[in-house]
């Protein structure tokens, strides 16, 4: 059994250690684009000036992404925070498996799916996020798989495209459509194959729900991709352009569903004998559609007759559940998480957030495993199903009610929570709502500080990546703000590349904590920091604690 040693310098504080993850609240660089700075944040300002405060890297290689041009995201961020080390993540692992050819090797799941369609003269389908955001997927992976499919004799492929605008600029869909149309033109040119887009829709409208927040999205996705039911168009370009004319100002992520038809018939319903690849590598928004394809019985919606297909995910999405049954690339082997160590040490732990980020604090935090360790309690506050710009406080107050009660009860030694506001409202691009979202987080951080002051506990406050701190599109070449026709800054909906705060607040001073000299510190250093503040020696191979104690 993996074990923690008690610290010689510090026996732990009287009250709990509370880890607050302010999702999407980073440290901005451009004041006009930084809606964390523009919000009223008396508590965060006080902490900046009076508590231990440092900047932490939360993007690129510091969280296991292929390079420093990759913004952070909640999966890799929570993995790093909860597991205390940097693992190569999905984006990097899939890229390597494709480049080395390992993904296509003899005996692979890829070969099984390709043989199935070649043998039955059936169709190879690809469903996934249609961008190069590198958060859930990458269009390069799709293009490489289609080239390989052609090489290996697959005659008919159909692509079901989930339009992004959330990990990439908000109305960039046509850039990807044009790129992919050119790709399809080239691959179809010699007339030996028939590869085309069959259906799609905005990623926040169909298919990519997470954590059981809104199964209607999956129901709509199933009708669109599998049954080919819905409004029809001659091409994806025509669909996007039509929707934009009909819904001025609509963001790509919210676009309605569409089905592509040729000669008055849909080009690609999914039918018995086909193979299906869900080409997202990230699990949270892949688990529900995977369940719809795999489960013998589904209670969440009536799918009608389930086609008998070979289904594979790009990666294994849940190591504990072994889902999906077939996957193309093996995920990072994330072991010995902080939750496991603390559980073995008998430390009672509470993990809490609202639905939209609930799995981030449980499944992602524990290394993409949905199993609970014995001393853990998990609590989910149901999220509203609504546009979050209309309710920017989200459930921050309700989450804090539970946390304050948990601090007062003395029942838990370690409490971890996520406030989704900065990120979920940041993704809407509605900047005034973002300010309110940040202010709600600040207020609730203040409530947690008060409770910890009374209980003689310690707060570690941070973020998994930035978002609200960088809300305006910048010109890629000049770095200048991109302005719209009215001269207003063009809202950005994606995460930022900015660092995030690393704050330690110890009102009783019991830990005598001071910042350690940690070069290139990142959010992976937070696990050892929490373990140190709980009165244990962190495991030797964990990224070093940000503080010294005692
Ligand atoms: C999403 O899934 O909402 C975005 O692609 C990434 O956001 P998250 O990493 O903050 O969940
Ligand atoms: Co986000």
Spell out a b/e string for 220-229, using b for 16 or more CB atoms within 10 Å of the CB, else e.
bbbbbbbbbb
202 touches 163 (CB < 8 A) = yes
Round to whole Å and give the CA distance between 533 and 538: 10
Cβ neighbours of residue 86 under 8 Å, at least 6 residues apart?
Answer: 61, 62, 63, 64, 80, 522, 524, 543
Active-site option among 13, 74, 172, 545 = 74
**Rg of the chain in Å (alpha carbons):** 24
* Domain edges within the chain: 5-88+334-548, 91-329
What is the SS3 assignment for 364? helix
Q: What tokens does 234 get?
A: 């001659």
So what's the pLDDT on residue 377? 98
Q: What tokens does 4 get?
A: 């923690």
So what's the pLDDT on residue 486? 82
Q: What tokens does 264 get?
A: 């008055």
Nearest residue by C-alpha to atom 10 in ligand 1: 74
So what's the pLDDT on residue 476? 78
Round to whole Å and give the CA distance between 306 and 322: 21
356 touches 322 (CB < 8 A) = no
Q: How far is the CA of 192 from the centre of ligand 2 (A)?
A: 41
Residues at the binding site for Mn(2+) are: 23, 74, 423, 427, 464-465, 495
Mean pLDDT in runs of 10 for the chain (550 residues)? 93 98 97 95 98 98 96 98 96 97 97 98 99 97 98 98 98 98 98 98 98 98 98 98 97 98 98 99 98 98 97 97 97 96 98 98 96 98 97 98 98 98 98 97 99 98 98 86 82 97 98 97 98 98 98
Among 77, 283, 495, residue to substitute to test ligand 1 (most atoms within 8 Å of Cβ): 495
In CATH, 5-88+334-548 is 3.40.50.300: no
Q: How far is the CA of 295 from the centre of ligand 2 (A)?
A: 29
3-state secondary structure 7-19: CCCCCCCCCCEEE
Q: What tokens does 289 get?
A: 């559609």
CATH architecture assigned to 91-329: 3-Layer(aba) Sandwich (3.40)
74 is catalytic: yes
Is the bond preceding residue 324 a cis peptide, omega within 30 degrees? yes
Q: What tokens does 407 get?
A: 């601090």
Q: What tokens does 350 get?
A: 């509470």
Among 163, 172, 205, 423, residue to substitute to test ligand 1 (most atoms within 8 Å of Cβ): 423
Residues with CB under 6 A from ligand 1: 73-75, 135-136, 166-167, 285, 423, 427
So what's the pLDDT on residue 483? 80
Burial class, 24, CB count within 10 angstroms (exposed 0-12 / middle 13-18 / buried 19+): buried
Q: Are strands 536-537 and 5-6 parallel, antiparallel or unpaired?
A: antiparallel
Burial class, 300, CB count within 10 angstroms (exposed 0-12 / middle 13-18 / buried 19+): middle
Quickly tell me which residue has 């005659």 as its tokens: 155
281 touches 246 (CB < 8 A) = no
Q: How far is the CA of 395 from the centre of ligand 2 (A)?
A: 16
So what's the pLDDT on residue 201? 98
63 touches 26 (CB < 8 A) = no
38 touches 476 (CB < 8 A) = no
Round to whole Å and give the CA distance between 257 and 347: 47
Instruction: Please name every residue paired with 505 in a beta bridge, in sequence order, or none if there are none.
Output: 459
- In angstroms, the first-to-last Cα distance of the chain is 28
Quickly tell me which residue has 């999220």 as its tokens: 383
* Helix or strand (DSSP H, E) at 247: none
- 386 in the Ramachandran plot: left (φ > 0), alpha (ψ -120 to 50) or beta? beta
């Amino acid at each position: 059994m993996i074990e923690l040693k008690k610290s010689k310098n510090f026996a732990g504080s009287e009250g709990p250690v509370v880890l607050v993850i302010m999702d999407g609240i980073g440290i901005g660089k451009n004041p006009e684009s930084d809606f964390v700075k523009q919000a009223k944040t008396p508590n965060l300002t006080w902490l900046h000036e009076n508590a231990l405060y440092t900047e932490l890297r939360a993007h690129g290689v510091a969280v296991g992404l292929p390079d420093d041009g990759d913004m952070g995201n909640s999966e890799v961020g929570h993995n790093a925070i909860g597991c205390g080390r940097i693992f190569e993540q999905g984006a990097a692992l899939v890229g390597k498996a494709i480049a080395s050819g390992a993904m296509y090797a003899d005996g692979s799941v890829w070969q099984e799916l390709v043989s199935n369609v070649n043998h039955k003269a059936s169709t190879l389908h690809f469903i996934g996020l249609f961008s190069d955001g590198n958060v859930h997927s990458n269009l390069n992976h799709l293009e490489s798989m289609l080239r390989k499919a052609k090489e290996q004799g697959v005659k008919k492929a159909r692509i079901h495209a989930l339009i992004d605008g959330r990990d990439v600029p908000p109305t960039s869909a046509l850039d990807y459509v044009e790129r992919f149309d050119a790709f399809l033109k080239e691959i179809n040119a010699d007339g030996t194959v028939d590869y085309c887009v069959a259906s799609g829709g905005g990623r926040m409208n169909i298919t990519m729900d997470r954590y059981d927040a809104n199964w209607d999205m999956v129901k709509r996705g199933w009708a669109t991709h599998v049954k080919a039911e819905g409004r029809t168009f001659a091409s994806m370009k025509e669909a996007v352009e039509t929707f934009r004319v009909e819904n001025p100002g609509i963001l790509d992520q919210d676009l309605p569903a569409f089905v592509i038809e040729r000669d008055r018939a849909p080009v690609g319903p999914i039918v018995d004998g086909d193979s299906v690849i869900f080409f997202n590598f990230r699990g949270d928004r892949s688990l529900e559609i995977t369940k719809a394809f795999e489960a013998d019985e589904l209670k969440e919606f009536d799918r009608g007759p389930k086609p008998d297909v070979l289904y594979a995910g790009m990666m294994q999405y849940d190591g504990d559940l072994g889902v999906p049954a077939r996957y193309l690339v093996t995920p990072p082997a994330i072991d010995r998480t902080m939750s496991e160590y603390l559980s073995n040490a008998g430390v009672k732990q509470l993990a809490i957030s609202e639905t939209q980020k609930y799995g981030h604090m449980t499944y992602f935090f524990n290394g993409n495993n949905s199993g609970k360790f014995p001393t853990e309690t998990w609590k989910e506050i149901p999220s509203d199903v609504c546009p979050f710009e209309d309710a920017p406080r989200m459930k921050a107050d309700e989450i804090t009610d539970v946390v304050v009660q948990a601090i007062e009860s003395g029942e838990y030694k370690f409490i971890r929570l996520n406030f989704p506001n900065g990120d979920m409202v940041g993704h809407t691009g509605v900047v005034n709502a973002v300010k309110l979202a940040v202010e709600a987080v600040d207020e609730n951080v203040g409530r947690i500080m008060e409770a910890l002051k009374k209980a003689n506990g310690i707060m570690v406050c941070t973020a998994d990546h930035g978002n609200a701190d960088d809300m305006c599109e910048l010109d890629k070449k000049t770095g200048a703000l991109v302005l719209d026709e009215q001269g207003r800054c063009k809202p950005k909906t994606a995460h930022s590349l900015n660092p995030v705060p690393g704050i330690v607040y110890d009102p009783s001073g019991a830990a005598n904590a001071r910042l350690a000299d940690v070069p290139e510190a990142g959010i992976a250093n937070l696990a050892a920091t929490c373990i140190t503040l709980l009165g244990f020696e962190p495991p030797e191979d964990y990224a070093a604690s940000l503080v010294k104690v005692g």
